[in-house]
Chains A and B, each alone.
Chain A
Amino acid sequence: MRTEDTIAAISTPIGKGGIGIIRISGKDTFAIAEKVLRGSKGISDAESHRLYNGYFVNPESGEKLDEVMYVKMNAKNSYTREDMIEINTHGGVYLIKRLLEVVLSQGARLAEAGEFTFRAFINGRIDLTQAEAVADLIESENEKSLKTAIRQVAGELKNSIKEIKDEIIDIYSNSEAEIDFVEEDIEREDKDSVIKRLKKTSNNLEKMIESYQAGRYYKSGIKVGIFGRVNVGKSSLFNALIGKDRVIVSEQPGTTRDVIDGEIEHNGLVLKFFDTAGIREGKGIIENEGIKRTKLIMENSDIAVLVIDSDDIKKDEDLEVYNELKEKFSENRNVLIAYNKIDLIEDIAEIEIVISNKEIRNIFISAKEKIGIDKIIDAIIDNVDADKSLENNNILIVNVRHHELLKRANEGIERLIKGYTEKIPNEFLAIDFSETIENLGKITGDVSSDDLLNRIFSKFCIGK
């Protein structure tokens, strides 16, 4: 384990809807915090060990991702004896993971199990109870509460990583053999062949990295927000989807004022639905607050269902909601449009289509009569590609740590490809080889450094 870089992790066990804490420690902590936190006081001016209110923003887009509380801790008095920040979030599981990813993208590395304690110890400060908590954490790592299907995939994961690692070790061993055994009669691999092999490996890694999204869906569910003008039947749809009359439905516009969530399971996938307050020009403080929350759900949903009242289409207002959604969802296809109340319409073909975009699906339903509800579910499943990704890869990355390590491994391979292209001598490339192998080894749990010499001796006839 290294101790010079900056690490981050979610430091509370994440339960449903609970508060989560993201912890960052290391020399770049404040610089990273400066980028992602906006508060009444800048990070450099904030006092140590004081709770501040602020926003967590995406530094790339400037977008506010969550309202948070944070504590800055100067190295002198922090748990790890390094500069630290703790960010309290309340957006639930999905959001906190998203925030963590932002922190990691700003230069922090995901902490290994027990690593904060490790640093606390290394830097001469540790607290006994916390030390024991770490031991618990290490144990719980071993009994991941994954569904059977996922567990199988996790087994596959180990094999696939081993294969990739093996390939890298193999290429590395050729490169090292050329250095250490110049005098030997061994075959040298030409540059183009090496680059080809590296590219192929990188492609495989990329596929795995991409599966993280689908993997996350399998592990943590798909978040589906239901949006629309007031009184279009969002709550009715929500009830129909979860199969229970959870939410109050009434002809009174503006009935729903807070976010309500509920989930169902569908072929091993959890779908989490969020009913939201209908959008209309602000009326009263409570409703404003409700709309604020609606927007937060917009930020954090994987899929949006925009409900339109087929019997009462208000094109301009519907479009306004749509445009707002379009901004938040990078992929158009993740917005579904549900034309509701078709029981009141004689001919569906008569319905005025508000948005015509090939990527966007229009689904005609009646929440009240439970028509077309299954089509919505199918569209959701279809959209996230979870099934497809499972079929294609057999691998799902579900763990943020694995995701992070794979990304690092792939960066290493990309550097190697560049190095080979630029004809950098092997002895330098060794750094990227060993780093890549180390990162892959951290996923499978074996980091044996003798692999390399074993490989060389088994492959080449060495020895004068």
Chain B
Amino acid sequence: MYDVIVVGGGHAGSEAALVAAGMGCETLLITMNINFIAWMSCNPAIGGLAKGHLVKEIDALGGEMAKVIDRTGIQFRMLNRSRGPAVWSPRAQADRLMYSADVKKRIENKDNLTIKEGMVVEILTDKKRAVGVKTSTGLIYEGKAVIISNGTFLNGLIHIGLKSYPGGRAGEVPSTGLTENLNKLGIKSDRLKTGTPPRIDGKTVDWEVLAVQPGDKVIIPFSYQTEKIEREQVSCYLTYTSKETHKILLGGFDRSPLYTGVIKSTGPRYCPSIETKIVRFKDKERHQIFLEPEGLGTSEYYVNGFSTSLPEDIQINGLRSIRGLEKAEIKRFGYAIEYDYFPTYQVKYNLELRTIENLFLAGQINGTSGYEEAAALGIMAGINAVLKIRNEKPFILGRQEAYIGVLIDDLITKGTDEPYRMFTSRAEYRLLLRQDNADERLMEYGYRFGLISGEVYDNMKRKREEKERIIISLYDKKVKPLEINPVLESVNSSKVESTVNIAQILKRPEIKFSDIQKFIEQEKGSDTLEKISPQVEMEIKYKGYIDRQLSQVKQTKTLEGKKIPGDIDYLKIKSISSEAKEKLQKVRPLSIGQASRIPGVNPTDISVLLIHLKNMPTEK
């Protein structure tokens, strides 16, 4: 008898299994092929806008993703460096094989964690409660809680041109039987689609003519626990499609599964296939194509921007019309895949199914897409499964606390009809949810769950205190005109007449932190200042904006605190609009705050709902 059984060793399942074991639970991870643990099905890269934020949050909670990419990354870049730190985001190219091997090793070395190969076809239940799983060969494993994270494998159907065949991703068989089993248990499923570009042989590329995109000179690690990364990095390369490319591709549309109606399910808008791009943006004469290395030990390159499910001959002819790829050889063809997922209104905030106790869903099967989103859901499902069997309060993050909170709330409250990807614009409190302060926001939780060591936690606290001290000192530190005016003059900033504090100076748009740095005292040999200066600069310069966001948070908190009883029947409330009724009945919001975020529920509906809530007890 296991405490927690995790089905599927992808990015979600790996994090889930590692935290469950890390919290001291006897954990079993069953996956279809142990060679493909945490395998990157698509792009060999971690991070990027908002995704990078998720990785840092996973790290602060005690997850693995950040540490693994720090060890196996082969190119690192901090995106949006020209803007404020709120929207910086780390991104790295990974060595696909090393990444997977690294996670596999972590799992194998983890105490309390057993890994087995097998395909789960049935969830065993007892009175609407999960009690174990059964594999395709009839083996039964008993567990107190089950987390499923099947990725794109459930009834996966791969398309290239008009050919299609069952597969979980290229080269792997799909998972069959489990969806049907869950349907029988009353869980609804639907289908989504995604796709991937071809991989080409780097030896056949004319590198000379391509623009190079190197990594950052100084690498900023993902993990708060990684001191420093010093490593030789590889480059990516940039080229463009041409009118000729588009013409060739259009010539294959009569055999496109997307445009002949073979594929019916929706794909992600932010990750469109090249065919969608040329149809939807007819006037755009060229599209960017990035060539990204698949790893150090291989000559394979990932053709980013060329996701396609057109037939093979069109893929190769199209590619060869691209500058630098005239002689390219495709090693693996691009394809599209359709798969089952479980619309998320069926789960609770702890990712447990509403109707089957102790059964948790994590990763792509919740309607998301991306390794980071999957891993974020995985760590949350893992922690919550443990809390559930220990009869402890669920672990729910608020929208004001973490991108992870935004992710789960969006999925449950707003739902999604395309694979969901995180964007910073989805987070209304973006200025507070920064990649630089994920540790300050979340590490305390990780520490409480025993996933973050006391030492790491103390370091974070020390760093935070140092930052606060420096900020205060900038407000306290007075400088005379004589001291500061030369600095001001050198950057064309108007001079001051009387003594001012440094913070006042830093608030001027034209003044950078480096201009006033010399006025700050710090302990000898400490490099904290260097690390936190962007944060300090932002917190002083844009205090007004940050304060506004903080007061917005305060305002919404009251609404979140107003709870709605679980047994309310919305269909019986007369004055609510019928659209709102339907949505409320489906989502079953926990609070007035959540209800007001449901699309289709307007403020008038909320007022009526409030009145109804007040009347409810007297109706009974």
How many angstroms from the CA of A447 to the CA of B354 in the assembled complex? 29
Stretch in A144-152, A178-186, A251-259, A346-354 touching the partner: A178-186
Q: Would B509 and A126 count as touching, CB distance under 8 A? A: no
- Interface check A453, CB cutoff 8 A: yes
Specify which of B79, B83, B602 is in contact with A425 (CB 8 Å cutoff): B83
Task: Give every chain B residue within 8 A of A2 (Cβ-Cβ).
Answer: 552, 555-556
Task: Find residues 279-332 in chain B having any chain A CB closer than 8 Å to their own CB.
Answer: 280-281, 284, 287-288, 290, 304-305, 307
A132 to B607, CA, bound (A): 11
Contact pick for B614, options A3, A128, A447, A461, CB 8 Å: A128
Interface with B: A218-226, A329-337, A396-404, A426-434, which one?
A426-434
Chain B residues with CB under 8 A of A425: 83-84, 87
Q: Which one of B15-23, B148-156, B520-528, B542-550 is at the A interface?
A: B542-550
B45 to chain A, nearest CB (A): 10
CB pair A117 B509 closer than 8 Å: no
**Contact B50 A1, beta carbon cutoff 8 Å:** no
Within 8 A of B (CB), among A246-280: none
Q: Is the CB–CB distance between B284 and A461 below 8 Å?
A: yes
Q: Does B271 contact A (CB under 8 A)?
A: yes
Number of A residues whose C-beta is below 8 Å from B?
54
Contact with B along A1-28 (1 / 0, CB 8 A): 1111100000000000000000000000
Residue contact B49 to A463, C-beta cutoff 8 Å: no
Contact of B49 with A461 in the complex, beta carbons under 8 Å: no
Q: Is the CB of A462 within 8 A of B269?
A: yes
Give the distance to chain B from A464, nearest Cβ to Cβ, in Å: 5
Digit string of A431-464 for contact with B (CB within 8 Å is 1, else 0)? 1001000000010011111101100110001111
A121-139 contact mask (Cβ, 8 Å, vs B): 1 or 0: 1100010100110110011
Q: Quick one: which of A132, A445, A461 contacts B602, CB cutoff 8 A?
A: A445
Q: Are A184 and B288 in contact (CB under 8 A)?
A: yes
The answer, yes or no, to whether A31 is at the interface (CB within 8 Å) is no
Per-residue CB contact flags for chain B residues 399-439 toward chain A (1 = under 8 Å, else 0) read 00000000000000010000000011110101100000000
Chain B stretch 428-459: residues in CB contact (< 8 A) with chain A = 428, 430-431
Closest partner residue, chain A, to B596 (CB atom): A1
Q: Are B559 and A122 neighbours in the complex by a CB distance under 8 Å? A: yes
A442–B602 Cα distance when bound, in Å, is 10
Whether the Cβ atoms of A461 and B277 lie closer than 8 Å is yes
A54 at interface, CB cutoff 8 A:
no
Chain B contributes a number of interface residues (CB within 8 A of A) equal to: 63
Cβ distance A83 to chain B, nearest Cβ, rounded Å:
16
A114 within 8 A of B: yes
A179 with B424: CB separation less than 8 A: yes
Closest CB-CB distance, B87 to chain A, in whole Å?
5
Judged by a CB distance under 8 angstroms, whether B604 is at the interface is yes
Asked whether, in the complex, the Cβ of B49 is within 8 Å of the Cβ of A122, the reply is no
Measured between beta carbons, the chain B residues less than 8 angstroms from A4 are: 551, 554-555, 558
Contacts of B586-614 to chain A: CB distance below 8 A: 592, 596-597, 599, 602-604, 606-608, 610-611, 613-614
Provide the residues of chain B in CB contact with A183, threshold 8 Å: 48, 79
Whether A464 contacts B288 in the complex (CB less than 8 A), given A138-B604, A457-B270, comes out as yes
B391 to chain A, nearest CB (A): 29
Task: Give every chain A residue within 8 A of B231 (Cβ-Cβ).
Answer: none
Nearest CB of chain B from residue A118's CB, rounded to whole Å? 6
Tell me, yes or no, whether B514 is within 8 Å of chain A by CB: no
Whether B425 and A452, one on each chain, are in contact in the complex, defined by CB atoms closer than 8 angstroms, is yes
Q: Report if A180-B607 is in contact (Cβ < 8 Å); known contacts: A3-B555, A461-B287.
A: no
Contact B287 A114 (CB under 8 A): no
Interface: B517 (CB within 8 A):
no
A179 is contacted by which of B87, B288, B509, B556 (Cβ under 8 Å)?
A: B87
Mark A110-121 against chain B: 1 for CB-CB distance below 8 A, else 0: 001111011001
Task: Give the residues in chain B near A115, CB-CB below 8 Å.
Answer: 607
Q: Specify which chain B residues have a CB less than 8 angstroms from the CB of A449 in the assembled complex.
A: 428, 597
| Distance (whole angstroms) from the CB of A41 to the closest CB of chain B | 32
Report the minimal beta-carbon distance from B460 to chain A, rounded to whole angstroms. Answer: 24
Residues in A neighbouring B603, C-beta threshold 8 A = 1, 112-113, 442, 447
User: Which A residues are CB-close (under 8 A) to B287?
Assistant: 185, 461
Chain B positions within 8 Å of A1 at CB level: 559, 596, 603, 606
Q: Are A118 and B430 in contact (CB under 8 A)?
A: no
Q: A176 an interface residue at 8 Å Cβ cutoff?
A: yes
- Asked whether, in the complex, the Cβ of B430 is within 8 Å of the Cβ of A464, the reply is no
A459 CB, min distance to chain B CBs, angstroms: 10
Roughly how many angstroms separate A5 CA and B86 CA in the complex, as a whole number?
27
Q: Are A461 and B87 in contact (CB under 8 A)?
A: no
Within 8 Å of chain A (Cβ to Cβ): is B575?
Answer: yes
Residues of the B chain whose Cβ atoms lie less than 8 Å from the Cβ of A430: 425, 430
CB <8 Å contact, B615 and A453: no
Q: Does B272 contact A (CB under 8 A)?
A: yes
Q: Please determine whether A131 and B83 come into contact, CB atoms closer than 8 angstroms.
A: no
| A422 within 8 A of partner (CB) | yes
Q: Smallest distance from the beta carbon of B411 to chain A beta carbons, Å?
A: 14
Docked-complex contact B428 and A434, CB < 8 angstroms: yes
Q: Assess the A453–B84 pair: CB atoms within 8 A.
A: no
Asked if B80 is at the interface (CB within 8 A of a chain A CB), the reply is yes
Are B613 and A121 interface neighbours, CB within 8 A? yes
Least CB distance, B563 to chain A, in whole angstroms: 11
Contacts of B428 in A (CB 8 A): 434, 449
Taking a contact as CB atoms closer than 8 A, the residue among A182, A185, A423 that contacts B79 in the complex is: A182
Check B607–A427 contact: CB distance below 8 A: no
For the complex of A and B, list the 4 residue pairs with the smallest distance between their C-beta atoms, beginning with the closest: A114-B607, A2-B555, A461-B281, A4-B555
Q: Which residues of A contact B (CB under 8 A)?
A: 1-5, 112-115, 117-118, 121-122, 126, 128, 131-132, 134-135, 138-139, 176, 179-185, 422-428, 430-431, 434, 442, 445-450, 452-453, 456-457, 461-464
Write 23 A-B pairs (CB below 8 A) sorted by A numbering: A114-B604, A118-B610, A121-B613, A122-B562, A122-B592, A128-B614, A138-B604, A139-B575, A179-B87, A180-B49, A181-B49, A423-B509, A424-B509, A425-B83, A428-B542, A434-B428, A447-B603, A453-B426, A461-B277, A461-B280, A461-B287, A463-B270, A464-B305
Task: With A1-B596, A179-B424, A464-B304 given, name 12 new contacts (CB 8 A).
Answer: A121-B611, A121-B613, A122-B559, A128-B614, A128-B618, A135-B607, A179-B83, A422-B509, A424-B545, A425-B84, A430-B430, A461-B272
